Amino acid sequence: MNEHSDYEAGCHIAVSLKEFGFRYDDQAEPALHGLTLDIKAGEHVAIVGASGSGKSTLCQLLHGGLYRSGEGERTGELTVYGMDPGKADLAEVASTIGVVLQDPDAQLVQGIVEDEIAFGPENLRVPPADIAQRLAAALEAVDLASERGSFVCRLSGGQRQRTTIAAVLALETPLVVFDDAAAQLDPPAVRDFALLCRRLHAAGRTVVTASGRMDDAARAAQRVIVLKGGTVQLQGPPETLLREHAAQLAAWGLLPSHARRGEAPQEPEARPGSAAERTGQPLLEVKGLTFTYPGSQRAALKGVSLALAAGERAVLLGENGSGKTTLGKLLMGLLPAPMKCMWWQGQDMAKLPIHQLAAGIGYVFQQPEHQFAAATVWEECLYSVRAKLGLRTGEPIPTAYEERARSLLTAARLDHRLDASPYLLSGGEKKLLSVAAQFILPKKLYILDEPTAGTDYEGVDMLLRMCAEQSAEGAAFLIITHDMQVAESFASHVLYMEEGHLEAENSGIYHTITVDNN
């Protein structure tokens, strides 16, 4: 307990909402409306909803940041341990409510892992000896003790996510909110995260998780609150919801589609042959690639070799920090390629300018907003077309490109959000938009880094259907993911990376994958 322990002990309700609503300034419909619910002090609650359901908006309102930013209008009442987080003193809010956002980079402010974790307690004037104790405990809780002196920018996406979790744990707030905090974690880390939530709950903390699926974190909660359209549709113990409402949860994209009674798992379409059946020169070839970041004593990649031909669908699995994203950035030219290790259509990639690689290779970042460049969804989808044709915003686009953009945005179910800001989309919608924007100009190879992280199952199905259409036209894919649905239903072959080494099959942290190519 922190200095507010006496006050918190007297509060039986941690979070209270009464006819609460919130509408963003640029949207006609409210993101949340009519929310009336209580979360008891010491309760473990999971908020589950598909992309656009309002769960992330609610998480951001619980610590007051969204309201203070002036991005919208709220109605009704919201209190956290008796205070209004949007109006209370910031120090009181920070010492009472800890929130881990979807995008770890939006919270990271320091260069070194241990500095990041100590930053919050230092600003709250916690005594140095206590900070040291909190730092050690937080690092241990997220299994990052070996990285305490590492540069945050050199960590994998999952490791950065664990750093933000540790930074919030170090605040020792009575309420901890995790907004899709497990989305970029590998399977062992996801299981550890669910156990961490249970330990926090057992220690008397109020724990709220939010996710787009009935995942391990949701199943570990005492109560699940299902949001749809910005309001509560269902709530109750997870085992009760799964037993009595599985078909409804699947229809809303919170369970796989085959969870509907009587349905078998669905696949986007028949998949092409595996790498063993490759004929002719591959599009991409890597031989003995080793890479070490400047200033690092440890190689991120060690002797990696692979090849991809037109139409192949490779899925790359591996633990956080194993080197997957580093490989993807090297293949795209975002990191300097070593000489005579990587070839694109027979040419040494170290000698090719990035604009030449970008003409044939599409790349989607882990955090899609890092590559957004336009003010609206429509213009974002057409941004690369304008760049290619030398057109300014507002100048007419050739009809064929407009038709392709409308088709892609309809497939992503974003055709009703054409005038919306890409930055105000839900996490899952941002992923779909970033993929559609890459598909607008057909490429020979697409590299997608965690494209389904934080996405509900319906969003995964939509994304894989979009990818399957491009694959049918001959495009190759390398999808970096922890999502087994992607590996099982899309891959022509599965690769596994472990400590910088690339293997042709996984080593056990993921269950065995058998790919049917018939």
Q: Is the pLDDT of residue 278 over 60?
A: no
Q: Is the pLDDT of residue 366 over 80?
A: yes
pTM over 0.75: yes
Residues 6+ apart with CB under 8 A from 52: 425, 426, 428, 429
Dist. CA 119–CA 131, nearest whole Å: 9
Dist. CA 21–CA 30, nearest whole Å: 7
More confident residue, 62 or 272: 62
Dist. CA 92–CA 105, nearest whole Å: 24
For the chain, the structural domain boundaries read 1-96+176-235, 103-172, 282-503
DSSP letter at 36 equals: E
Dist. CA 316–CA 318, nearest whole Å: 7
Task: State residue 506's pLDDT score.
Answer: 44
Task: State residue 295's pLDDT score.
Answer: 80
Dist. CA 104–CA 165, nearest whole Å: 9
Q: Is the pLDDT of residue 110 over 90?
A: no
Which whole number is the average pLDDT over 370-379?
94
Q: Give the lowest-confidence range in 94-103, 270-279, 297-306, 339-348.
A: 270-279
Q: Is the pLDDT of residue 375 over 90?
A: yes
Task: State residue 257's pLDDT score.
Answer: 74
pLDDT digits (tens, 9 = 90+) for 163-200: 999 999 999 999 999 999 888 888 888 889 999 999 99
The verdict on domain 282-503 having CATH code 3.40.50.12140 is: no
H or E element in which residue 240 lies: helix 238-244
Dist. CA 212–CA 312, nearest whole Å: 29
pLDDT digits (tens, 9 = 90+) for 230-248: 999 999 999 999 999 999 9
Q: Is the pLDDT of residue 345 over 60?
A: yes
Could you report how far apart the first and last alpha carbons of the chain are, in Å? 58
What type of residue sits at position 95?
A: S
Residues 6+ apart with CB under 8 A from 401: 382, 385, 440
pLDDT digits (tens, 9 = 90+) for 38-79: 999 999 999 999 998 999 999 999 988 888 887 789 999 999
The DSSP line for 265-302 is P--SS-----GGG--S--SEEEEEEEE--TT-SS-SEE
Task: State residue 272's pLDDT score.
Answer: 39
Task: State residue 189's pLDDT score.
Answer: 85
Which whole number is the average pLDDT over 284-313?
92
3-class SS of residue 102? coil
Residue 187's φ and ψ, nearest 5 degrees, are -55, -45
Task: State residue 509's pLDDT score.
Answer: 39
Task: State residue 409's pLDDT score.
Answer: 97
pLDDT, averaged across the chain: 88
Residues 6+ apart with CB under 8 A from 518: 270
pLDDT digits (tens, 9 = 90+) for 382-433: 999 999 999 988 899 999 999 999 999 999 999 999 999 998 888 889 999 9
Q: Is the pLDDT of residue 125 over 90?
A: yes
Torsion of CA 147, 151, 156, 157, to 10 degrees: 110
**Percent of the chain's residues with pLDDT above 90:** 70
pLDDT band of residue 254 (cuts 50, 70, 90) is very high
Measure CA 206 to chain center.
24
Task: State residue 231's pLDDT score.
Answer: 95
Distances (CA, A) of 83 to 26, 252, 350: 28, 34, 57
Q: Is the pLDDT of residue 2 over 50?
A: no
Task: State residue 156's pLDDT score.
Answer: 85
3-class SS of residue 157? helix
Which whole number is the average pLDDT over 493-503?
92
Task: State residue 187's pLDDT score.
Answer: 86
Instruction: Please answer whether residues 330 and 342 qualify as being in contact, where contact means their C-beta atoms are separated by less than 8 angstroms.
Output: yes
Class of domain 1-96+176-235: alpha beta
What type of residue sits at position 273?
A: G
Q: Is the pLDDT of residue 130 over 50?
A: yes
Distances (CA, A) of 443 to 218, 283, 363, 405, 473: 38, 11, 10, 15, 10
Look up residue 384 and give its two tokens: 């690369």
Task: State residue 258's pLDDT score.
Answer: 61
Task: State residue 246's pLDDT score.
Answer: 95
pLDDT band of residue 507 (cuts 50, 70, 90) is very low
3-class SS of residue 156? coil
Task: State residue 393's pLDDT score.
Answer: 82
Task: State residue 137's pLDDT score.
Answer: 95
pLDDT band of residue 262 (cuts 50, 70, 90) is very low
Q: Is the pLDDT of residue 269 over 70?
A: no
Task: State residue 511's pLDDT score.
Answer: 38
